Structure 1
Amino acid sequence: MQLELSRVVHGTARLGVLTGLGSTGQHSLDVPCCLLYTHFGTVPHLTQDTLHTISSLPFVTQHQDVLEEFKDGLKKFAGLRDTALFCSLHDPAAPCPTGYTTNKTVSVWGSGGRIEMSVAKFMALQKVVQPDWYQSMADGETWQINASRKRVRKSVDRTLAHLDECLLLHQKSQELDRVSMFGVVEGGDILEERVRSARETAKRPVAGFCLDGFQSGAMDPTLRIQLISAVTKELPEDKPRLLQGVGRPDE
């Protein structure tokens, strides 16, 4: 994956092309762009008759054993061969219960309830999904406005530790040779922790960055803009940045 910039305005607004996507590197995306939201590779808003036939949409983690047996990745499994596929840790369109992360695990939520993920299990999942890129495992439970400074700092520390473990396993995996990893920037609503998370994540050999914790709508819009601006100043210009569920495309 490579970001080819054609224009940068005021050091923040960037125009270019994200190239080298897909197993053979033949796909590309114009940036800035919006990714189509899917739930386990399915677009929830197709047609009314199709929508009424879907009672619940499973998470990728609920089909890990099926994908392991299938062996050809989620794109072929879901009929999305000619697309670029990003695998997020959580569903950005649905709030996740808090209080279930540890120094070694995070929890994701499916129709069957909580699924605890270690780094090893998370990376095993990426091997069978075979996305074009994915975000590293992260502690993103500090999006609430009442999160303490101590809790936010712990979130940043955990996320960096998870990133280092994910990178180690990623570099050892032949299945992920053409897959890119995005580091996750946490920090809640505390400017110093946002900047620290961005600086430390930028030191790692990641392909891009996922700015997490802005999708809940609980954060004051002015503060959100201030934090995003401070974070992007710490990130290299030649790598892409991803915001999930932050608002409408025209905002």
Structure 2
Amino acid sequence: MAGSRMKLELSRVVQGKSRLGVLKGLGRTGKHSLEVPGCLLYTHFGTVPHLTQDTLHTLSNLPSVTQVTLSHIAEHQEVLEEFKDGFWKFAGLHDTVVYCSLHDPGAPCPTGYTTNKTVSVWGSGGRIELTVDRFMALQKTVKPDWYHSMADGETWQNNTSRKRVRKSVDRTLAHLDECLLVHQKSQELEGVEVFGVVEGGDILEERLRSAKETAKRPVAGFCLDGLQTGAMDQNLRTQLITAVTKELPEDKPRLLQGVGRPDLVLACVEAGVDLFESFFPFQVTERGCALCFCFDISPDPERAGRAPPTVLELDEERDAAGETKQNGDVNLDHQTQMTSFEINLKDKRYKDDFGPLVEGCGCYCCKNHQRAYLHHLLVTNELLAGVLLMIHNTAHYHGFFGALREALASDKLDLLKRRVLRERKDLDG
């Protein structure tokens, strides 16, 4: 494999861990870049859920990297092979960088189906078993700009034995070597970047072994797997990420899978993570909720899109959020659990609330519609509810990442943490 074109240029490292910079040389042409810390654009089969391309582009500052998953693509392999021009063209993803991951981070993934030679993904028609050969055949068909190698990620449950965790690390390294071998011989994948996957469950020495060994391979970056929300408490997650990132080269990006909640994102950035998947706005939308947390660190409180929700309102909704676990990590049913960063618009209190979802937010939904209207759409099961909520939630979430980069650039990370965590202090204290 020729040298990677993807390069991470860091402009600041705060307190030895939080990294601010730009990931350059993305895509086949190398002309795209992505600011870090940052997140990818979450999609189902190349489309942001609830949104058309036209609606999506009412949003500004969208990331240049679109995430697609084999769990959505694998069952359409024959159609794509016939099409021949790669998934980005098939899905109309012009002028974007396509990153292909194994599983959909926004959906629960059944466990217990991994073997020494295969991993499984779940499409709408059920389970699809992938060998390295089939996995790589899919990559040649998809023709992404970057993908992560096949991995055994089934060790994120707390009761996984040390022996099983060791096996997961061994399998994942073997898969990586096999993927790289096929990749290097494949013309279709010329110029495509590979990320290695770091496994190791909750066992520190296995995490370190996985990180050190993966770093020896010719990979462009690293996916940190098995640290999903609900899999472990945040203190342990921070400990493991901090230890792992010390073993990884500084000039290559670290992408964390399965963590999206703002408080957890902040903690993981402080531990050295660069990139996140943006499935969280989708999960919030599916619950009929709107993201409504403050990330305003500017001296001007009137600044568009940054006005805080009222603390009283969040206090009232806390009971509904039901998150009283230590360190704020929810149980494994986190896909459906409401968090304290959102308001539930199905609640009857919004029936006569004629304010925007978030005061000062500049998104299409907040500028044109009121909470009462969203409440009406939700209780009558109108499809428009999902569209408007997804517009707002996506804009709010990407706005948070913009504020995070700004905070790192201007030494205001502590201020941002106070703003974002303000409505959580009762929960975790």
* Shorter-normalised TM range: over 0.9
The aligned counterpart of 1:130 is 143
Residue 232 of structure 1, aligned match among 245, 250, 258: 245
State the AA in 2 paired with 1:197: S
Aligned to 1:215: 228
2:200 equivalent in structure 1: 187
CA shift, 1:105, in A, is 0.8
In structure 2, the partner of 1:159 is 172
What is residue 94 of structure 1 aligned with on the other side? 107
Q: Deviations over 1:161-200 (max 9, x none)?
A: 0000001111111111111000000001111111111011
The two structures have a TM-score, normalised by structure 1, of 0.92
Deviation at 1:74, TM superposition (A): 1.0
2:13 to 5, 8, 14: 8
1:31 aligns with 2:26: no
**Aligned twin of 1:20:** 25
Q: Deviations over 1:127-185 (max 9, x none)?
A: 11111111100000001111011100000000000000001111111111111000000
Deviation at 1:227, TM superposition (A): 0.6
| Structure with larger Rg | 2
Aligned to 2:216: 203
1:25-174 matches, within 5 Å, as 25-46=30-51, 59-174=72-187
Residue 244 (str. 1) matches residue 249 (str. 2): no
Partner AA of 1:10 in structure 2: Q
Whether contact under 8 Å (1:95, 1:216) holds in the other structure is no
Matching residue's letter, 2:137: A
- Looking at secondary structure, tell me which structure has more helix per residue: 2
Distance 1:102 1:27 in 2: 37
- 1:103 Cα deviation from its structure 2 partner: 1.0
Superposed CA offset, 1:51-105 (max 9, x none): xxxxxxx711011111111111111111111111111111111221111111111
Matched residue type, 1:6: S
Alpha-carbon separation, structure 2, partners of 1:182 and 1:248 = 23
- By how many angstroms is 1:17 displaced? 1.4
Q: Following TM superposition, by how much is the alpha carbon of 1:245 offset from its aligned partner in structure 2, in angstroms?
A: 2.5
Aligned residues: 242
Q: Which amino acid aligns with 1:3?
A: L
1: CA distance, partners of 2:32 / 2:22: 10
Question: Aligned to 1:11, what secondary structure does the other structure show?
Answer: coil
In 1, Cα distance between the equivalents of 2:144 and 2:37? 20
Matched to 2:152, the amino acid is: D
User: What is the deviation of 1:9?
Assistant: 2.4
C-alpha displacement at 1:8, in angstroms?
2.0
**Separation in 1, partners of 2:209, 2:122:** 29
Kept after mapping to 2: 8 A contact 1:210/1:242: yes
Distance in 2, matches of 1:216 and 1:33, equals: 18
Distance 2:88 2:105 in 1: 20
Decide which moves more: 213-222 or 163-172: 213-222
**Corresponding residue for residue 54 of structure 1:** none
CA–CA separation in structure 2 for the residues paired with 1:177 and 1:3: 20
- Contact 1:152–1:187, Cα closer than 8 Å, also in 2: yes
What SS class does the counterpart of residue 39 from structure 2 fall into? coil
Distance 2:14 2:233 in 1: 25
2: distance between equivalents of 1:186 and 1:22?
26
Alpha-carbon distance in 1 for matches of 2:50, 2:206: 37
Query: What are structure 2's unaligned runs of at least 5 residues?
Result: 1-5, 56-70, 267-429
Partner letter of residue 45 of structure 2?
F
Aligned to 2:359: none
Query: 2-side partners of 1:132 and 1:10: how far apart?
Result: 32
User: Partner amino acid for 1:159?
Assistant: T
Deviations 1:183-227 (A, max 9, x none): 000001111111111011001110000000112423111101111
